[in-house]
């Protein structure tokens, strides 16, 4: 059961309580469900009782008590507990457990995509600086996941650029004003290695291309002036150079050095790519042992499950705050959580593959999907072997 499906289940419980005459309220259009906060329990929590308390003329705790039996009887719901002033904490059961639901949602594709910027054109004004251009290139893709459409424009003519931001440049993505939703037009800079090849077209969710009859809503122009790198990052190669420029927050000066190339746990980029490569290796090794992943409960993986559940929020924040570093750092958190439990995925010794192994493999594969997708949004490759 996905959060969207659980939201419908909660609304169904409200509707049944209204039909039974236990509540006298208008059934809301939407019920918010989210992972439980401090003091909560179960897989998801909803504040629907607090939302309905005033219209119902009852306390939130009373509304929660009315709704609880209607929820407990719903398909896929194992138990419901009431905490705090009236939060309903829902534990999913069996094949509809929160872990299985999350894994299936990731496998369906476009996990983390939303509508926070739906229908908006987001103009990004940048200087002629390699870091600003790389950040803008990543934001084109990240903003598209939230239904928006980025326009990348230079803030000043080339000859007016200040020396402190006049760093070696790249093939910078720019979207022409005459067709704001369609394609990048490259602005090449001679004799400079490209570390951000622009995609041929912008793919986006929820927003439509401008065609003269159905324009997108323009957002406020956003100046992007991240602190420039003190050195030319291009000798690091495309992937490491992009990571060096995207991983630090925009107000921090990037450190350019050979540490970004080390295959060592001290290198965050290596940990992210290694974690993805491990998920691919686990799939290959499981196939050799004759089993595949099946979504199910996975105990003792709270950090990994939390990181995966937070990915949509990290993506949304990266898009709305114009901060790809938020996504990069979340990928590090996710990779570290996977590496902490990956040794439990495959059977050991003479142990036979069990349902637990299949569930762990499915979770590892879902993690690989998130890591590869996040790296792709940053313009960085995810190798199967490392």
pLDDT, residue 205, reads 33
Across the range 309-327, mean pLDDT stands at 96
Across the range 205-227, mean pLDDT stands at 56
Do 151 and 121 touch, CB atoms closer than 8 A? yes
Angle at 312 between CA 315 and CA 326, to 5 degrees: 30
Question: 137 versus 72: which is more confidently predicted?
Answer: 137
Q: What are the residues whose beta carbons fall under 8 Å from the beta carbon of 316, sequence distance 6 or more?
A: 112, 114, 116, 146
Q: Is the pLDDT of residue 171 over 50?
A: no
Please tell me whether residue 124 adopts helix, strand or coil conformation: strand
Q: Is the pLDDT of residue 371 over 50?
A: yes
Q: Is the pLDDT of residue 221 over 90?
A: no
**Closest to 238 (Cα-Cα) out of 188, 195, 190, 285:** 195
Percent of the chain at pLDDT above 90?
A: 67
- How many CB atoms within 10 Å of residue 353? 15
- pLDDT (tens digit per residue) in 12-32: 999 999 999 999 999 998 899
Q: Is the pLDDT of residue 175 over 80?
A: no
Distance CA 291, CA 345 (A): 12
Phi, psi of 154 (to 5 degrees): -80, 140
Q: Is the pLDDT of residue 219 over 50?
A: yes
Provide the whole-model pTM: 0.68
Which of 209-218, 242-251, 291-300 has the weakest average pLDDT? 209-218
What are the DSSP calls for 289-317, one per residue?
TT--------TT-HHHHHHHHHHHHHHHH
Q: Is the pLDDT of residue 174 over 50?
A: no
What are the DSSP calls for 43-109, one per residue?
SEEE-HHHHHHHHHTS-HHHHHHHHHHHHHTSTTEEEEEEETTTEEEEEE-GGG-HHHHHHHHHHTS
């Amino acid at each position: 059961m996905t959060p969207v499906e659980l939201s419908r289940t909660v609304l169904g419980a409200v509707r049944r309580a209204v039909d039974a005459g236990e509540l006298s309220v208008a059934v809301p259009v939407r019920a918010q469900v989210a992972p439980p906060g401090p003091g909560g329990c179960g897989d998801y929590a909803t504040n629907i009782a607090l939302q309905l308390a005033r219209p119902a003329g009852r306390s939130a705790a009373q509304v929660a008590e009315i709704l609880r039996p209607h929820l407990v009887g719903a398909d896929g719901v194992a138990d419901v507990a009431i905490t705090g002033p009236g939060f309903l904490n829902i534990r999913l059961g069996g094949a509809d457990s929160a872990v299985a639901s999350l894994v299936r949602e990731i496998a369906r594709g476009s996990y983390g995509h939303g509508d926070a910027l739906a229908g908006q054109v987001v103009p990004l004004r940048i200087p002629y600086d390699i870091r600003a251009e790389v950040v803008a290139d990543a934001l084109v893709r990240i903003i598209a996941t939230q239904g928006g459409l980025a326009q990348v424009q230079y803030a000043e003519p080339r000859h007016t650029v200040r020396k402190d931001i006049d760093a070696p440049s790249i093939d910078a993505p720019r979207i022409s004003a005459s067709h704001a939703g369609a394609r990048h037009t490259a602005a090449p800079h001679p004799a400079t290695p490209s570390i951000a090849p622009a995609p041929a077209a912008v793919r986006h969710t929820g927003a439509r291309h401008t065609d003269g009859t159905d324009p997108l809503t323009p957002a406020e122009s956003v100046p992007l002036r991240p602190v420039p790198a003190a050195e030319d990052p291009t000798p690091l190669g495309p992937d490491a150079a992009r990571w060096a420029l995207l991983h630090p927050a925009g107000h921090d000066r990037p450190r350019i050095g050979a540490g970004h190339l080390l295959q060592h746990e001290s290198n965050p980029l290596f940990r992210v790519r290694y974690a993805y490569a491990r998920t691919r290796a686990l799939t290959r090794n499981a196939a050799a042992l004759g089993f595949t992943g099946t979504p199910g409960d996975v105990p003792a993986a709270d950090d990994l499950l939390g990181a995966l559940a937070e990915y949509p929020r990290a993506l949304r924040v990266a898009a709305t705050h114009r901060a790809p570093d938020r996504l990069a750092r979340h990928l590090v958190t996710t990779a570290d959580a996977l590496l902490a439990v990956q040794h439990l995925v495959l059977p050991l010794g003479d142990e036979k593959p069990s349902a637990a192994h299949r569930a762990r493999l499915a979770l590892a594969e879902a993690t690989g999907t998130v890591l590869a997708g996040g790296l792709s949004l940053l313009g960085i490759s995810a190798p199967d072997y490392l």
